[in-house]
Amino acid sequence: MSNKRKQRILKLLSEKEERSLSEGNVLRGLKMPERKRKNLRATLEQMVLEGTLKKTSKGRYRLRSHGEKTTEKKDRGQQNSSGYPLNGNRKKIGSNGFSNEKSLRVLADLRETPEGLVAYPRKAEIPESGIENGGGKRNFSDGELVVIEVGLGKPLARVTERLGLSGEIETEKKGIISEYRLPKGFSRNVTKEVGNLGAEFSNGDLSARVNLEKETVFTIDGDDARDFDDAVGIKKIRKGYRLCVSIADVSHYVLSGSACDEEAARRTTSTYLSDRVIPMLPQKLSNDLCSLRPGKRRLTKTVEMDFDSSGRLKDSRIYNSVIKSCARLTYSEAAAVLGGNGTVPSRRKNIVSSLLAMKELYDKLREFRIGKGGLDFDFPEAVLLRDPTGEVMDVGRFKRNVAHEIIEEFMIMANSVVAEFVFKNGFESIYRIHEPPDSDSIEQLRESLLKMGIKANLGARVKQPEIQAVMKTASGRKDRVQINFMILRALKKAVYSTKHVPHFGLGIDDYTHFTSPIRRYSDLVVHRIIDDILGAKPPSYDSARLKRIAERCSILERTAEDAERQFMNLETANFMKTRVGEVFHGKILSIHPFGVFIEIKEHFVEGLIPEHSYKGRGRKRKWFELGEEVRVKLVSADMERRRLTFNLAS
């Protein structure tokens, strides 16, 4: 791909007033002949893959600016960093990422040249530059990874952060944390404020709450979990079930406008990296006061739901409560009990009977939701398998079991009940929405499926049953996972919004996020809105403020997801670098003009076979099929670019 062509595309998009351009617009804007359209498309798709451009749901291209409105993300109390990836965008981001500010910050590698040390930014569209030496007080080294500040019109860049030697795993992890502006600690004000909080409750704290301390409620979480923010309990009632979902009452401790609240509002989410967590709240809250530990009295908000014998919701109540979890179960322990080959702490029979009743209700709830159009993709996730020293031994598939599915279904139900409760009480709120896909995306999906021999009945205003029918058709094919990915890419992303609209993917009319206030700021806001309703108070939030919070939560959720993915890619590249030259069994995941993405069977990792590696060998791209098995040789495990490159072995 020509870097010159990429530069022309970036320049064109930055000069145009439109927020996005179609492929044809770009072709005409660059004054390229029609015969070059295929080459242009390959360049555009490569730039999307690299993260330079964003492809909209309508197939148009725009600069990846993470939104026109910028909010500031502040870490360690310094109040000077944005919440966007450090990829050449400025603190105030315009349509081209280069307006309103006189400098930008990027990751760069320092290299010794005949002219002295030169900083080479990791983003190809940012030119290299010399560096200031600070009057000779700072001695930089060849091969360092640094953060530089580049001033427009200035010949030299200023190093603002030194991370270590490029290519080393810990240095590259620091690079990702800096690249995505992830917080590195809590300010003194936050630490002091949280340090003054105590675990003891006054009579006033408890008197207005429903006491559930004698009820059989317990948590089910992952093996390594430390923040237990949800507990569940169930009873068989006349012709049905009574399910209670109790969520840590974070709003009791984190008051609106406090230092801790302002910091949580800046972070909006906890970020779960491969070997560490960057929490939204300090550990004293997330791992102690608000964590529903077994045997500890904890303040909660409870959603109590009554279902009939078929799993239909008949009644619900929401109230402040106090609980004492009777056990901390892991997903594997709960699944073992349900499979008939496991035990629970203290061998408590009431926990076993509760788990069995939960499984009964779950089966009915899921059948009912899928019957209403809920989509269930269940894609495999990668998990790093480590030895006792923390070294990665393998990359495997994360195995979901029935306990994961039970808790997920119960949380979906609680979130839906809360959304309906808030809406019916006339309060504005933040909802978790997933709008239907647009007609252009569905048309592209229909055409792609037809090329694969699947004639899909997908209308312009597609309905969930139509998508479910395609998924059912693909269920027995070797390329089933790839087809489901194609469907997922055709759908819009779920976002936070003040609009009260149905959630397309779940097939639910009312939906919000309420069940994780320890790690999601949107949930904490919803808890406060519930406080206002239960306390017959006027709304604490106006619509403009809620809209700003929703937009920020959506943006920083994507930032956290990107950072988590880059950490996983880095760890994978580090694990595979000793396997360069080895041959593996691969399966085609996706086909692009610039190459083919594969997944290898020996380890759950992905990589690219570049087009140039097979084009010259007489193999045409159209010969590849999704799901096709190929033998491949690992030729590169690039730590800096966090990617694997393969060639065909035969």
- Residue 535 tokens read as 């306390």
Which of 333, 365, 326 lies closest to 232 in space, CA to CA? 326
CATH of domain 86-179: 2.40.50
Alpha carbons 548 and 544: distance in angstroms, whole number: 6
Say if CB 511 and CB 419 are below 8 A apart.
yes
Token readout for 305 is: 């739901």
**Residue 647 pairs with which residues in a beta bridge?**
633
Residues paired with residue 570 on neighbouring β-strands, in sequence order: none
Q: Which residues of the chain have pLDDT under 50?
A: 1, 65-101, 135, 137, 621-622
Q: What's the per-residue H, E or C state across 120-137?
A: EECCCCCCCEEECCCCCC
Q: Which residues, 6 or more positions from 330, have their beta carbon under 8 angstroms from its beta carbon?
A: 220, 221, 222, 223
Comparing CA positions, the residue from 364, 366, 336 lying closest to residue 352 is 336
Please provide the size of the chain in residues. 650
Q: 3-state secondary structure string, 22-90?
A: CHHHHHHHCCCCHHHHHHHHHHHHHHHHHCCEEECCCCCEEECCCCCCCCEECCCCCCCEECCCCECCC
pLDDT at residue 84, rounded to an integer = 34
Res 635: pLDDT: 95
What's phi and psi for 617, nearest 5 deg? -95, 10
Q: Cα(116)–Cα(608) distance, rounded to whole angstroms?
A: 35
277: Cβ contacts below 8 Å, ≥ 6 apart: 270, 271
Q: Are strands 629-638 and 583-592 parallel, antiparallel or unpaired?
A: antiparallel
Written as six digits, the tokens of 648 are 């065909």
Strands, E, within 538-605: which ranges?
583-592, 595-600
- 229: CB partners within 8 A, 6+ apart: 247, 248, 250, 290, 291, 292, 515, 516, 517, 518, 519
Query: What pTM did the predictor assign?
Result: 0.82
Q: Give the C-alpha separation, 96 to 328, whole Å.
A: 50
Backbone angles phi and psi of 500, in degrees to 5: -100, 90
Q: By CB neighbour count within 10 A (0-12 exposed, 13-18 middle, 19+ buried), where does 202 fall? A: exposed
The contacts of residue 523 (CB under 8 Å, 6+ apart) are: 250, 513, 514, 515, 516, 517
Q: What is the dotted CATH code of the domain comprising 580-648?
A: 2.40.50.140
* Rounded Cα distance, 600 and 159, in Å: 40
Chain CA centroid to CA 17, Å: 31
Average pLDDT over the chain reads: 86
Round to whole Å and give the CA distance between 79 and 75: 6
pLDDT of residue 61: 85
Question: What is the CATH architecture of 3-63?
Answer: Orthogonal Bundle (1.10)
CB neighbours of residue 171 within 10 Å:
17
